[in-house]
Amino acid sequence: MNDSFEENSALDSIEHQLYDPKKKEESISVHRVKNRREVELPTSWGENTQIIKELKKNEGLSFGAKFLIISGIILLLALLFTSWRILSSRNIVSSNNIEMTADVAPTISGGEEIPVTVTIHNKNSVLLESASLTLIYKQGVGSQDQQEKVQEKRVIGTINPDEYKKQDFKITLYGSEAEARDVTLKLDYKVSGSNAIFSKTITSSVVLKTPPLSIVLSGPDTLSADQNGDFSMIVTNNTATTSLPSLLLLTLPANFTFNSSSPKQSGYGPTWQIPAIESGSTYKIGFSGALSGSGGETGTMKAIIGSQGGNINTIGIVYSSQVYDIHLRSSPLSFKVALDTDRGQAETLRYGDSATLTITYTNSSDTPIQNVKLTLNIDGDAPLYNQIDPGTGYYDSASRTITWDKSIIPDFQSLPPHKESYVRVVIPIVLKGTNSPSLKVGITGAGSLQSSNDVVAKVNKSWVVQGSATINAETHYKISTFTNTGPIPPVVNKDTTYTAHIVVSAQNALVNSKVSFVLPIYVSWRGVTSDNAAITYEPNTRTVTWNIGRIDAGKTTTGDIGLTVKPSQSHAGKSPSITSGIVLDADEETSKAHLRTTISALTTKLSNESLGVNSGIVVDK
């Protein structure tokens, strides 16, 4: 009974403590949640272990508070800087504050005068000083862009703040239909307190309707190499009035051969003076020519019509132009030419040669070529025309041509596919002649595949007759151009002076001509020559050089060189050499062939002098 009472008393006491309204509330600190064991967390639970620890007080501002304060400061600085820029830029001039507009028609007719109105609005808060407006546009067409650009400048002066300025221009453009042109307007100005020039530029685009005079170039767009083609150029007056006289200029590819035109050209080259043309009328020009080259190539021609320039071949303002392409088809007919002489197959000719030309023709297509005709044209001053052997061909001595056709070669009626054969011609070459005579041949073949003469092939070859350069040399004593001394015949260990007399001649003109030789050890250079500027001596190599340079065709040149000879005992009873072998090097001016000739060394033996038979043999006295 007593035990139960005591137990109830203990429970009542705890309940009384928990719900006692007079008891003061105590603050209890609880550990935050841990995701790992900390060093201060006890590992065992003893009597004195404190389970609940008091948190340390967090002194200072949190990270969020710091970030908020810094952001506010940056925002304040940005507002202050923006305000300063706005207030300080009141007097700064900007091209963005200049409004320029150009009122121009979007499409115009070529040659028509149209107005251009330009409006300028200064939206800056300060005035613009020394303002000028420049109108720039390309009036014509063609490659002379800088010559055809028009620049018209107007001085405006001062433009006050918020002031409008207006300028009126008139322009005339020429060009092809649907061609776009830019009209550029440039405003230059200064501001107070500065010498710098500032600019504002705008560009407007206009499209040309029709040029006052238009040109159409037409003709075959595909030809065989060297096949003649007929072309036409038609000039049309598109205006409502009669046109002024104009000039037509035709630019042709470098490999285009111009044959003829109707009417004929007006000046040098393919140019024509075009008379006044009535409204809606045309003027026609026809011309013919051939394009050389290889299959697959393209030649471009260009026709330009415009006003007369400073001279007969110059266009002032270009009204219109047209470009026309011609494509070369590959020719199934081809040729190869081989040259043979008495010396065998060669690429050069010599005087007196009998040149044999072998012309090999081939049909490389899978289709027969009809009505083939082969013509060989012979030209140059090297052939002996009255001795030419044409082989099976027909030789026309007046025109200097040899012809083969179907009446001579039956296969030429219809040359079979992949057929290859040849013809031969013998052409004798002159024995002598002018400077570097030449043999020139042109081989032309024609036939038909799809239409008449639509197959053309041509080969041109030329050869220059290579001449020779000769050199001779003699040893002189008495008949020299300068005095020689010493014993004759020469004596051992005594000086005797001689003259080396050299003669050079050429069939064809020579350039870079040079004679050279080396002196033996017992021969000395005297320094006496017939041409001290051209004849020199190099002591290190003991080489004597005569730089002749140019020798005209058929001409001869001579040179004299003084030498001192002191024979040794070993030369007794002999005529020792006083030079090495003498070498001539030269280039032919026309053929570019290099010629090199070497002759034997000179000795003490004298030539063409009456001093005795043994006058050149060394004696021992």
The answer to the question of residue 26 being in a domain is no
Structure-token pair, residue 562: 């003084």
Q: Domain end: 465, 484, 516, which one?
A: 465
Report if residue 514 sits inside a domain. Answer: yes
Amino acid at 336: K
Tokens of 300: 């471009």
Strand, coil or helix: 63: helix
pLDDT at position 134: 93
Which of 181, 208, 235 finishes a domain? 208
CATH code of the domain containing 99 = 2.60.40.10
Residue 103 lies in a domain: yes
User: Going by DSSP bridges, is the β-strand pair 333-341/344-345 parallel, antiparallel, or unpaired?
Assistant: antiparallel
Examine the domain organization and report whether 399 and 507 are in the same domain: no
Same domain, 525 and 407: no
Residues 345 and 277 in one domain: no
Among 296, 329, 362, where does a domain finish? 329
Count CB atoms within 10 A of the CB of residue 585: 17
Q: Each residue of 262-308: pLDDT tens digit?
A: 999 887 778 999 999 999 999 999 999 988 887 788 999 999 988 88
- The DSSP symbol for 507 reads S
> Torsion-angle region of residue 597: left (phi > 0), alpha (psi -120 to 50) or beta?
beta
CATH code at position 573? 2.60.40.1170
Query: Are the C-beta atoms of residues 27 and 52 closer than 8 Å to each other?
Result: no
Tens of pLDDT, residues 76-116: 888 887 666 555 544 567 888 899 999 988 888 777 788 99
Whether residue 105 sits in one domain with residue 122: yes
In residues, how long is the chain?
A: 621
**59: in domain:** no
Same domain, 491 and 391: no
Domain, as residue range, for 169:
95-208
Q: Is 616 within a domain?
A: no
Q: Answer whether residue 437 is part of any domain.
A: yes
Residues 6 or more apart in contact with residue 170 via CB below 8 angstroms: 113, 114, 115, 116
| Shared domain check, 429 and 386 | yes
Q: What domain count does the chain have?
A: 4
418-423's contacts with Cβ under 8 Å and 24+ in sequence apart are: 418/362, 418/363, 418/364, 418/365, 418/366, 419/362, 419/363, 420/360, 420/361, 420/362, 420/363, 421/360, 421/361, 422/358, 422/359, 422/360, 422/361, 423/358, 423/359, 423/361, 423/374, 423/391, 423/392, 423/393
Q: Is 225 contained in some domain? A: yes
From the number of C-beta atoms within 10 Å of its C-beta (0-12, 13-18, 19+), residue 127 rates as middle
Residue 468: CB atoms within 10 A of its CB come to: 13
Report the distance separating Cα 262 and Cα 245, nearest Å: 18
In a domain, 72, yes or no: no
- Positions of the chain with pLDDT under 70: 1-61, 82-92, 141-148, 176-177, 451
Closest C-alpha among 411, 607, 588 to residue 502: 607
The token pair that represents 444 in the structure block: 């032309």
338 and 455 inside one domain: yes
What are the DSSP calls for 360-420, one per residue? EEEE-SSSPEEEEEEEEEEESSSB-GGG-B-TTSEEETTTTEEEE-TTT-GGGGEEPTT-E
Same domain, 483 and 388: no
Same domain for 389 and 279: no
Same domain for 513 and 476, yes or no, is yes
Predicted local distance difference test score (pLDDT) of residue 74:
85
DSSP H/E element including 10 = helix 2-18
> Phi and psi for 534 in degrees, rounded to 5?
-95, -25
CA 276 vs CA 273, 281, 318, 515: distances in Å: 10, 10, 16, 70
Q: Kindly report the CATH number assigned to the domain that includes residue 370.
A: 2.60.40.740
Q: Are both 381 and 325 inside the same structural domain?
A: no
CATH classification of the domain holding 286: 2.60.40.1510
- Give whole-number Cα distances, 129 to 119, 134, 187, in Å: 17, 16, 11
Asked if residue 389 and residue 495 are part of one domain, the reply reads: no
N-term to C-term CA, the chain? 180
Q: Let me know: does 291 contact 331? Beta carbons within 8 Å.
A: no
